């Protein structure tokens, strides 16, 4: 066991919630399933949607949640990691769960979490499921943490499953090839449950489709030709999305970047696969997409007259999307970058592309990085 500390997880609330937990990744669903059984299977008290993939799954998850809120359905959204406080991971109707309620629910779930030897991520996942049940949500939109097949979130029985895309990341855990990573991501596909993906690589798409067909899961690919007239601006990304259900939708998302147009299209496709009782109307889709909040993703802010772009890109595909957005925005010069990464990321590949757009750059440490993942930019 390793004590969780504010220096590792930045938010002191973490140490109050889980004073002693394993911090390392633990594979397998058995511990999570046992803890949930001890709590009365709270994840079965509401419908769920399950969103996996390498990049964009947080943006898709929060966009789906925003759209469903517009229907009046009480909506839970679970994402990871958090930026400032662990409460960001567990949203109810778009609002982070309050500290008092979170501490109360953690206390109620503590025995199930500790007795079953859950890791930090497993514990937060169980706490999210329990919180949603206590808060009487009608639907929970659940983002995969790492991989998919053996991720703690893969205990859900969703109405729709989604895989955003597959790119190189977490190779030490998921495998050193795109095919190996794709197989882990495809592990969230469930028998008979519709699968929606925005993956564009044909070999990876074929692998995902084959897994869906084997399980009798209806398969839908979000074709990028459905997305037209994309305009990337500093406050919104505009697009026209062709859909069978709602016709052509003129959408605006406050999430910036051409890749966010694809994420919006995937989110709309997910809600389009819901049954009639919860499926949003055309107007609710448009309003929900325009209302999403997801900080730290090509997040443009003006502070004291200076323009800041805040982004959490942490793999090569993410950096390529960030650089594409920077190029499209024609930001004021000079462009100064402040870069911090984790040691186990492919920073040797990422840095040259990032720095090619910078007039100056400062390389630094991620202040909340675990000791064994701290990056030394001097080396």
Instruction: Answer yes or no: are the C-beta atoms of 375 and 347 closer than 8 Å.
Output: yes
Predicted pLDDT at 379: 60
Crossing angle between the packed helical segments 30-38 and 120-134, to the nearest 10 degrees: 30
Q: Which two tokens mark 43?
A: 């994840």
- Give pLDDT tens digits along the chain (379 positions): 333 443 434 577 887 887 766 666 778 899 999 999 999 999 999 999 999 999 999 999 999 999 999 999 999 999 999 999 999 999 999 999 999 999 999 999 999 999 999 999 999 999 999 999 999 999 999 999 999 999 999 999 999 999 999 987 776 778 789 999 999 999 999 999 999 999 999 999 999 999 999 999 999 999 999 999 999 999 999 999 999 999 999 999 999 999 999 999 999 999 999 999 999 999 999 999 999 999 999 999 999 989 999 999 999 999 999 999 999 998 989 999 999 998 888 899 999 999 999 999 999 988 878 778 888 887 6
Q: How far is CA 150 from CA 2, 32, 186, 195, 336, in A?
A: 22, 11, 11, 18, 40
Q: What pLDDT was estimated at residue 15?
A: 79
Is the Cβ–Cβ distance between 188 and 174 less than 8 Å?
A: no
| Element spanning 91, H or E | strand 90-92
pLDDT value at position 199? Answer: 97
Strands 160-163 and 139-143: unpaired
DSSP per residue, 48-79: EEEEE-SSSHHHHHHHHHHHHHHTT--EEEE-
Using alpha carbons, select from 126, 96, 89, 88 the residue that is nearest to residue 108. Answer: 126
Question: CA-based angle 97:101:106, to the nearest 5?
Answer: 100
The domains located in the chain, with CATH, are 2-223+255-284 (3.40.1190.10), 299-373 (3.90.190.20)
pTM above 0.85, yes or no: yes
- pLDDT at position 23, please? 61
Three-class SS string for 254-321?
CCCCHHHHHHHHHHHHHHHCCCCCCCCCHHHHHHHHHHCCCCCCCEEEEECCEEEEECCCCCHHHHHH
Q: What is the C-alpha to C-alpha distance for residues 300 and 253, in angstroms, rounded to an integer?
A: 13
Q: Round to whole Å and give the CA distance between 54 and 31.
A: 24
* Residue 290 and residue 255 in contact, taking contact as beta carbons nearer than 8 Å: no
Percent of residues in the chain assigned helix, strand, coil, to nearest 5 = 40, 20, 40
Q: In the chain, how long is the greatest CA-to-CA distance?
A: 57
State both tokens at 283: 């107007």
CA nearest 66: which of 285, 227, 335?
A: 285
What is the rounded CA–CA span in Å between residue 56 and residue 255?
A: 11
Please report, for residues 31, 37, 214, the alpha-carbon distance to residue 20 in angstroms, rounded to integers and kept in the order given. Answer: 16, 22, 41
Look up tokens 């200076």; give the residue.
Answer: 306
CA angle (51 as vertex; 108, 272 as ends), nearest 5: 115
DSSP of 149-186: TTSGGGG---SEEEE----S--HHHH-SSHHHHHHHHG
Residue 222 and residue 226: Cα distance in Å, rounded?
7
């Amino acid at each position: 066991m390793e004590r969780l500390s504010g220096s590792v997880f930045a938010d002191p609330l973490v140490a109050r919630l889980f004073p002693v937990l394993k911090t390392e990744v633990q594979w397998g669903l058995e511990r999570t399933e046992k803890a949930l059984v001890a709590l009365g299977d709270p994840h079965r008290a509401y419908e769920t949607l399950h969103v996996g993939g390498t990049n964009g799954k947080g943006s898709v998850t929060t966009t789906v949640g925003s759209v469903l809120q517009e229907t009046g359905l009480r909506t839970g959204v679970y994402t990871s990691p958090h930026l400032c406080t662990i409460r960001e991971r567990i949203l109810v109707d778009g609002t982070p769960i309050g500290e008092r309620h979170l501490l109360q629910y953690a206390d109620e779930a503590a025995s199930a979490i500790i007795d079953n030897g859950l890791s930090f991520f497993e514990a937060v996942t169980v706490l999210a499921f329990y919180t949603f049940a206590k808060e009487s949500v009608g639907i929970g939109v659940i983002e995969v943490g790492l991989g998919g097949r053996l991720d703690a979130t893969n205990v859900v029985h969703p109405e729709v499953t989604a895989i955003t895309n597959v790119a190189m990341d977490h190779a030490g855990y998921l495998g050193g090839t795109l095919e190996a990573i794709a197989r882990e991501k495809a592990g969230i596909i469930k028998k008979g449950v519709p699968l929606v993906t925005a993956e564009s690589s044909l070999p990876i798409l074929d692998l995902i489709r084959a897994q869906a067909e084997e399980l009798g899961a209806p398969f839908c690919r979000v074709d990028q030709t459905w997305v037209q007239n994309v305009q990337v601006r500093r406050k919104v990304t505009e697009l026209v999305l062709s859909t069978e259900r709602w016709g052509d939708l003129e959408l605006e998302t406050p999430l910036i970047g051409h890749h966010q147009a694809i994420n919006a299209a995937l989110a709309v496709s997910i809600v389009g696969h819901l049954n009639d009782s919860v499926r949003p109307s055309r107007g609710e889709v448009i309003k929900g997409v325009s209302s999403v909040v997801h900080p730290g993703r090509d997040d443009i802010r003006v502070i004291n007259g200076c323009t800041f772009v805040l982004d959490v890109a942490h793999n090569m595909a993410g950096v390529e999307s960030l650089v594409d957005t920077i190029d499209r925005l024609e930001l004021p010069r000079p462009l100064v970058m402040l870069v911090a990464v984790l040691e186990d990321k492919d920073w040797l590949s990422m840095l040259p592309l990032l720095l090619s757009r910078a007039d100056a750059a400062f390389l630094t440490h991620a202040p909340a990085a675990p000791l064994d993942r701290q990056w030394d930019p001097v080396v």
